[in-house]
Structure formats: structure tokens, C-alpha cells
Chains A and B, each alone.
Chain A
Amino acid sequence: MFNPLQNTNRRISPSVLFLVAVTFLLPASSGMAEYADVVLNRHAEAEGVRPVIYPHWFHRIRFRCKVCHHELGFEMKVGANDITMAAILDGKFCGMCHNEETAWGLEHCHRCHSGLPGLKTGIRGGDKAGGPGDY
């Protein structure tokens, strides 16, 4: 006996309930990345270390943008700088400061390599914006 009304009702109600459940459970289970955190994972995970999290908020308390993006020459575009561990150990990129002089040295691997497995390279934003063009 085919009855559309009954059938749709049966099919919808569990999914509605599920949606309601999800709406309530989501805020309890997922936090937000801090605005402007950058994930760098072009080589890290493939080479067996955790992805790198670069926090803009932390560094901009200590340095103006011009220090990195002018004086030290970081391009203002994720992925535009060819950052590798070899270059860093050579005193380039993060290694221009993380040299035991301006900041702690490179032996603290896990402070930089602190990300969850599987993260994609890119800028994050917990609040409304997820990066350029993605407000």
C-alpha cells in the first residue's frame, strides 16, 4: 500500500531529529582556529613530522607586519615563500629569528610542528573570515 504522506513523514522525521541533534551538539564539540593562523604543510607531513602552525596573532604582538613582510622579505601570500626546513636551518624564513638570538632556537621542533595530521596549507580564521576572498 503506497502512501506518500506517510512515507515522507517517516523519512523526514529521523533526519529532522538528526539535524536538531547536530545543531545542539556542534557548539559543544568543535572549537575554532584563531583568526589568521597559517598552516604550513607542503612538506612536513610527507616527511614524517606534524604540520606547522604559524600564529599571526602571537607574532604581531611582538613585530609589526613590515618586519616580516618587508624587512625580512616574506611574500604576503600563503605558499608564495619556498619555506623548507633546510632553508630555515640555513637561517632563512623562520630561521631569521628562531636562532637563539631574536627568538628561541630550532631545537624546539614541536613548538612549530604542532598541528593535527591531515591539515591543509592555508590561512585559517575562526571568526567569520577564512582567508582572502573568503570573509
Chain B
Amino acid sequence: MMKNPAPWSKRPKRFGIKPLLFALLWLAGSFCFLVDGVVDAKEDVFANDGLHDPQGPSFGELQRPDEAFVGFPTDTVGNKVRWVKALRDGAINPRTNIVPETKIKILDMDLILGNTGDNAFVLFPHRAHTEWLDCANCHPEPFKEKYGTSGIKMGAILEGKFCGKCHGAVAFPLTECARCHSVKPDTFRGKFGVQPVAKH
């Protein structure tokens, strides 16, 4: 196709302008970052979140998460709050019920789920969950009350089933493999399923 060498002789000209344009844009870009960083310090997180309408009459009345979370234990994902720790440390004390006669059930029972292929086993803590949730949020759907009988699969979790019903929606996201896959197979000597009661 390239029978004419002429284009090569023209190239230096194009290369002459391109790096210049690139550098200019880069500069402009870095400037945006700079301005962004400066503005960020006091920027309203709702102003550009693609969700809240700044024209809404109550726009100013709503609380902003960054203001609400001051002093909470921090996280790198999700709401950027370690919710289990926030509850345990007393940073928050959310109500457990509205009607006085509602029964509050907390279960202190860890399970180790061992069907994880080459990955670390999964430690499922009932206590951390039942402090927030009721048994009925998980039993009998999506989990049967007997170890190893629910057919939990990672693929289904990633589709929003089983643990993925909450993790990836409201609880910490599924990118955090190691928070669930936390038991190293080479050091674990116990049995799968219900673990002996931990000391507290």
C-alpha cells in the first residue's frame, strides 16, 4: 500500500504540534485537579452527586454523610465507615425496635464454610449479623439452618444472592474478598460448620 515515502517526510511536522497540544492539555488537566482538590475541601458532597437536585427546596436541610460520619471508625469502601466497630465501640447506638414487645434475638455462633476451592475458608459470624439483623432476614431464605445445606456459590453471591443480597448493596462490597475468606486453610485444624463458642 505504501508506495509513496512522502508521508514520512511530513511526519516530523505533525509530531511537532502533537506533544505541544498534549502538554497543554496535561497542564489544563492538572490545573483542574488542583482546583478540584482546593474546592473539594469545602465542596458540598450533594452538589454534584448525580442524585440530589440542588434546586430542591429542602436541599440545604439534609444532612451530609461526611458531616455525620465525623468520629466514626473509618473504612476504605462502601460508606467508608466500619459499621460493626462503630456499633461495638458505641460511636452509634441505633434502635433495635419501635414496638416495645418486639423480641430482640442475638446469636453468638461462628461458622466456618469450607467449600471455597483453593481460597481461604469463609468465617461467618452470627453475632455481628444479628446485632443488625433478625434471623428472619436470612432463615429460612436464603440460608437453611444447617451447615452446608444452602448451596452457597460465589457466582450466585456475585449475582446478588446469598451473602450478595446485602454485601454489595448496603453492607461492605464484594470486592473485599479477605473479609469473608479470612481463615487460612494451611493453619486451620478444626472442623467446618459451627465453631466452639469463642471466649468473650
Taking CB atoms, residues of chain A closer than 8 Å to B78 are 35-36, 125, 127-129
Asked whether, in the complex, the Cβ of A62 is within 8 Å of the Cβ of B173, the reply is no
Roughly how many angstroms separate A65 CA and B131 CA in the complex, as a whole number?
9
Instruction: Tell yes or no: A40 within 8 A of B by CB.
Output: no
Asked whether, in the complex, the Cβ of A115 is within 8 Å of the Cβ of B51, the reply is yes
Asked whether, in the complex, the Cβ of A71 is within 8 Å of the Cβ of B99, the reply is yes
Q: How many A-B residue pairs have CB under 8 A?
A: 208
Minimum C-beta distance from A35 to chain B (A): 5
The interface on chain B, measured as residues whose beta carbon lies within 8 A of the other chain's beta carbons, has a size of 69
Provide the A90-133 mask, 1 if CB < 8 A to any CB of B, else 0.
00000011000010000010110111110100011111110111
Contacts known (A31-B45, A126-B49); A61 close to B68, Cβ less than 8 A: yes
Taking CB atoms, residues of chain A closer than 8 Å to B166 are 76
Minimum C-beta distance from B85 to chain A (A): 14
Minimum C-beta distance from B64 to chain A (A): 9
The interface on chain A, measured as residues whose beta carbon lies within 8 A of the other chain's beta carbons, has a size of 68
Roughly how many angstroms separate A6 CA and B62 CA in the complex, as a whole number?
56
Taking CB atoms, residues of chain B closer than 8 Å to A63 are 94-95
Contacts known (A33-B49, A117-B53); A135 close to B96, Cβ less than 8 A: no
Minimum C-beta distance from B198 to chain A (A): 22
Which residue of chain B has its CB nearest to the CB of A117? Answer: B53
Q: Give the interface of B toward A (CB within 8 A).
A: 1-2, 4, 7, 10, 14, 18, 21-22, 25-26, 28-30, 32-33, 35-36, 45, 47-53, 56-59, 61-63, 65, 68, 77-81, 83, 92, 94-99, 102, 104, 131-134, 136-137, 158-161, 164-166, 168-170, 173-175
* 8 tightest A-B CB contacts, nearest first: A24-B29, A132-B160, A133-B160, A129-B173, A110-B58, A70-B134, A135-B174, A31-B48
